[in-house]
Structure 1
Amino acid sequence: LREVFEKRLNPPELLPESFDATQHKFNRFLAALIPKSTTDSSDEGFFSAGWTEEEVAEVKDHIRKHGLDSATGEDAVLYGEILEIPNDALAYLCNECIRRRDVIALESCILKLLTLLIHKRITKWAVARGLTPDYQNGFREGYRANNNPFILRCVKERARANGFTVYVAAVDATNAFPSTDHPTLWLKLIRMGMGGAIFD
């Protein structure tokens, strides 16, 4: 999957002045040393255990609640058709894709299902390790992105009531994800304890 998605990345052409150029170069060097096959060091097997029928059922429930009308990929297969596939068959397919490192098909609903399984497994790992901070509402189950505007409103009202000034900055994060420096990201994830077939 990595090679497929790397083509869609949009790193900056020139390294921003705020970056430590020496550290950036060193991170690229270290990331190149990450083996193609890593070891899952988690006792729970977050990154090496195969997906279960129960996990597939959980993802199917998520899709039913949030995305049945999602666009199809080039294969023109709808989520509704995928939801009819038995959970054991979908678990087997997704496990084989990870084991064999096969790409399913770019932007198909099956690929979206697989990436949702990966997302849920990483989320469970992050929660179990206390790695997701409270302010990351968009990445925490049961939280929503509108929690932060509510908090900001409370800050504003409290500041007004107490005669304080509040300064707020709006950051344009339009290119945040495709421009993420992947060598630095991979190193950070390895240092946090990621490793295993799903990480690979």
Structure 2
Amino acid sequence: PPVSRVSLQQLTETFIPHMNPPDPLLSSFDPARIIAEDARANAIPSPSPPASHPAFNEPLSLDDISTVKSYLKRTTHSNLTGIDLATYDLLLEIDNNQLLPLFQRAIEHRDIPYRAIALKSCVLKFASLLVHHKLCLALQQSDTIPPSQNGFREGFCTNNNAFILRTIIDKARSRKETIYAAFVDISNTFPSTNQSSLWNKLSDAGLMGKYFD
């Protein structure tokens, strides 16, 4: 493989300023709440206890591998590779019986030799899709997701919400009623999200176990 002319240290130094991390001491944050959330998250045992949802405890199966492959075949995706040079096309060609023990071992041993955020590695993104599939099954079976959640759900589309809003507006007009709508754009959303709070929400929802770890 070609040798990169840019070192990891140079990439890190360039990336960090663009992370735009929030200042927890700003008035919009509750410092005491942040400390409490961090303490709760740090108290979660490792390994964590099994999930209260059966689907989130079940081991990976050949059907799970097939489901992710089917998703990749019918959707547009980038074949941009990571340092392993493995593409989606390569993974799609590998027999499911060979892929299953690879991903199953990583999940069961809680040892994934990749960074947690997958921007380039198709292998890690494939693994992320497997966990996402298990999570969606657990949430569907427990009827946790409200009907209004249309984003990031199989068979749903964010256009659904626009259609619902348009229907509400048309109905209000026909009745000569007034509708008040707020379109909220949260500044610096992703860097401002407290990760400890997310771990705690998953824990409170009973979504722990090997996929959580």
How many residues in Structure 1 have an aligned counterpart in Structure 2? 193
Residues 174, 143 of structure 1: CA spacing in aligned structure 2 closer, same or farther, 3 A cutoff? farther
Shift of 1:71: 2.5
The answer to whether the Cα contact below 8 Å between 1:10 and 1:178 also exists between their aligned partners in 2 is yes
Give the equivalent residue in structure 1 for 2:7. none
* Partners of 2:114 and 2:34 in 1: CA distance: 33
TM-score, with length taken from structure 1: 0.85
1:113 to 126, 138, 142: 126
Residues 128, 103 of structure 1: CA spacing in aligned structure 2 closer, same or farther, 3 A cutoff? same
Give the equivalent residue in structure 1 for 2:35. 25
Residues 69, 23 of structure 1: CA spacing in aligned structure 2 closer, same or farther, 3 A cutoff? closer
Residues 195, 19 of structure 1: CA spacing in aligned structure 2 closer, same or farther, 3 A cutoff? same
Give the equivalent residue in structure 1 for 2:194. 181
Give the equivalent residue in structure 1 for 2:107. 98
Correspondence 1:124 to 2:134: no
The answer to whether the Cα contact below 8 Å between 1:97 and 1:104 also exists between their aligned partners in 2 is no
Structure 1 unaligned residues grouped into runs of 5+: 1-6
Correspondence 1:73 to 2:78: no
* Partners of 1:20 and 1:187 in 2: CA distance: 17
Match of 2:151, SS?
helix
* Partners of 1:83 and 1:115 in 2: CA distance: 15
Residues 14, 69 of structure 1: CA spacing in aligned structure 2 closer, same or farther, 3 A cutoff? closer
1:49 to 48, 58, 62: 58
* Partners of 1:133 and 1:9 in 2: CA distance: 32
Give the equivalent residue in structure 1 for 2:212. 199
Provide the aligned C-alpha RMSD in A: 2.3
Query: Which has the higher mean CA deviation after the structures are superposed, 171-180 or 48-57?
Result: 171-180
Residues 165, 28 of structure 1: CA spacing in aligned structure 2 closer, same or farther, 3 A cutoff? same
Residues 45, 155 of structure 1: CA spacing in aligned structure 2 closer, same or farther, 3 A cutoff? closer
Structure 2 unaligned residues grouped into runs of 5+: 1-15
The percent identity for this pair of structures is 35
Correspondence 1:161 to 2:170: no
Give the equivalent residue in structure 2 for 1:59. 68
* Partners of 2:20 and 2:133 in 1: CA distance: 25
Match of 1:187, SS?
helix
Correspondence 1:87 to 2:96: yes
TM-score, with length taken from structure 2: 0.80
Summarize deviations over 1:47-79 as a string: whole Å, max 9, x none: x43211111001100000113544322333221
Match of 1:137, SS?
coil
Correspondence 1:40 to 2:50: yes
Residues 68, 28 of structure 1: CA spacing in aligned structure 2 closer, same or farther, 3 A cutoff? closer
User: Could you say which structure has the larger radius of gyration?
Assistant: 2
* Partners of 1:57 and 1:15 in 2: CA distance: 47
The answer to whether the Cα contact below 8 Å between 1:9 and 1:179 also exists between their aligned partners in 2 is no
* Partners of 1:178 and 1:116 in 2: CA distance: 23
Give the equivalent residue in structure 2 for 1:147. 160
Residues 45, 136 of structure 1: CA spacing in aligned structure 2 closer, same or farther, 3 A cutoff? closer
